[in-house]
Amino acid sequence: MWNVLGMEYLVKEETLLFTEKVKLDTGHLDMLIHNAAILGSITDPIHGPVNIAGMAEVPNVNTLGSLHVTQASCPSFFKARPS
């Protein structure tokens, strides 16, 4: 049986709720698929204004968000599955 859960990677409360739900529902985690990625706003940095906040959002979602969820989920990966 598959359980599919969604969350906002950058919202700490949602990440914590995700890991707690996994613990309560199954006690372990078999697979974690990271399907979050954004391109960000594409602007012309030479002729237009540079959007620093927009540039910082891309690695926050694409890299740091995945890392944060993986770290929070690791204990569930290493629990023994029920027989």
Span 38-61, pLDDT tens digits: 887 766 667 777 778 888 888 888
Structural domain contains residue 82:
no
Structural domain contains residue 26:
yes
Structural domain contains residue 17:
yes
Buried b (16+ CB within 10 A) or exposed e, 39-66: eeeeeeeeeeeeeeeeeeeeeebbeebb
Lowest mean pLDDT among 26-35, 46-55, 71-80: 71-80
Structural domain contains residue 7:
no
Structural domain contains residue 45:
yes
The tally of domains found in the chain comes to 1
User: What's the average model confidence in pLDDT over 31-44?
Assistant: 76
What domain range includes position 53?
12-76
Structural domain contains residue 46:
yes
Structural domain contains residue 16:
yes
Q: What is the pLDDT of residue 33?
A: 81
Structural domain contains residue 81:
no
pTM, whole model, 2 decimals? 0.62
